[in-house]
Amino acid sequence: MTTDTVGWVWRYTINLAGALAHRGWQVRLATFGPPPDAAQRAEVDSLPGVMLVAGEFPLDWAGADRDAMQAAAAELADMVRREACDLAHLHAPLLAAAADWTVPLVGLIHACGGSELAAGTSPQLVKDSEWHWTMTRQGLEACDRLVAPTLASAAMVSVDRPVKVIYNGSSPHLPVGPERKAPFVFTAGRLWDETRNVALLDAVAGKLDVPFLAAGEQIGPGGQKLKARNLRLLGSISMDEINAHLSQRPVFVSAAQVEPFGLGVLEAAESGCALVLSDIPAFRELWGGAATFVDPHDEAGFLSAIEMLIQDADLRHKVGAAACCRAMDYSLRAMTDAMVSQYEGVLEEEHSAAQKVTSSAIRH
C-alpha cells in the first residue's frame, strides 16, 4: 500500500492498514514524500502486521516529473515481487501505467495532484499537466479496480469503467467531553496548500473576537509556505493533541476549494463540533443537512456563519449534534469491509483467470 507522509492520506492509510492487520492481513507500506518522522514511525510500529518497506518516493503533486514517477513505479513493482505481495493498493493511480506489475492493482481516485489540477491552483502541476494527465489516464485504465471516497471525487475523472465509491471511515479517538467555556474556532490540514483556502480563513480570523486555531504543516514539500497574520498557528501537532482540541467542541471550519473527502472534517464531527464548510460537491454529499455551507470565495459569509454559531450556544450544540450523528455513517469498520470486498474480489478474479489459463494449457 502506498501512502504520502504529508497530508491526510497518511491518516487514511494508518486507519485502514491497522484495521486490515486486525483482520489478519499483512500490509507493507511504501511512502511518498519526506521520510516518515519519529511519530509516524511509532504509529506504524504500533500496528502488528504493518511494516514500512520503502520510502522517500517523489510526490507527483509536488513537482516530480514523468521520469521520477516512472522510476518510482518500477521500484515499487520490484518491491512487490520481493515481498511476495498478493496485490497493490495505489493512492496515485498513475503508478499503474509506469511499470510491469505482476499483481492486481486497486487504485484510489483521491490523489492530491488530481485535485490541484482540477482547481488550477498548483502552477507546477498546471505547467506539467500534459504528461500528468496522460499518465493518470493510462493508470486509471491499467488498474484492476478503481475506488473513490465520494461520488464527487469519482466525477472528477472521466473513465469508461466502474468506480466503486467507498466513504472514508474513522473511529472516534476520544469521547465527546465537556465543551470549553470560552468558544473558539479550529481548522486542520495542509495549511500551505492553496486549495485549502487558508488565506481566506486568515482574513476571517482577523475579524473575530475569539481565537481561531490552525493545526497542520505550514511548509509544503515543494517549498510552498503559508503566510498568515491572524490565525493562531499550532504547527504539525499529533493526533492526540488535535483530538484534545476537538474534544472541546470548537466551531470547525474548512474553506477548501477542492476536497476529495475531508478526513479532518469527519474527525471534528465525531467530537460533536459544529461545522462551517465550503459549499463544494464533496462536502454537500457528505454533510448536507448537518453543516453550515458557505461559498468558498465568500469571506463575509464565513465570518457571518462563524459568528452566528459562536454567539448562539444552542444553535452551536444543535449543529454539532447533527454532525456527530452523521459521522456515525462513516465508520472505519464499514470502510474496511468495503475495501476488503474489493481486495477479495480482485484476487478471486485473478485466481479464476489463472485457472482458465491452466485448464487451457492442459487441454492443449
> How far apart are the C-alpha atoms of 210 and 69, rounded to whole Å?
45
CB-based contacts of 132, cutoff 8 Å, min separation 6: 60, 66, 94, 113, 117, 125
Per-residue pLDDT of the chain (364 residues; tens, 9 = 90+): 999 998 889 999 999 999 999 999 999 999 999 899 999 999 999 999 999 997 889 888 777 888 999 999 999 999 999 999 999 999 999 999 988 999 999 999 875 454 444 444 444 454 557 888 889 889 999 999 999 999 999 988 878 889 999 999 998 765 555 666 679 999 999 899 888 999 999 999 999 999 999 999 898 877 788 999 999 999 999 888 999 999 999 999 999 998 888 999 999 999 999 999 999 999 999 999 999 999 999 999 999 999 999 999 999 999 999 999 999 999 999 999 999 999 999 999 988 776 665 555 566 6
pTM: 0.88
Question: Grid cell 520481493 — which residue?
Answer: 82
Q: What angle do CA 180, 186, 190 make, to 5 degrees?
A: 150
Three-state SS sequence of 110-142: CCHHHHHHHHCCCHHHHHCHHHHHHHHHHHHHH
> How far apart are the C-alpha atoms of 151 and 129, rounded to whole Å?
24
Tell me the domains of the chain and their CATH numbers: 2-166+332-360 (3.40.50.2000), 185-327 (3.40.50.2000)
> How far apart are the C-alpha atoms of 314 and 162, rounded to whole Å?
44
> How far apart are the C-alpha atoms of 289 and 310, rounded to whole Å?
19
> How far apart are the C-alpha atoms of 138 and 130, rounded to whole Å?
12
Q: Reduced to 3 states, what is the DSSP secondary structure of residue 249?
A: coil
CB-based contacts of 311, cutoff 8 Å, min separation 6: none
CB-based contacts of 223, cutoff 8 Å, min separation 6: none
How does DSSP classify residue 352? Answer: H
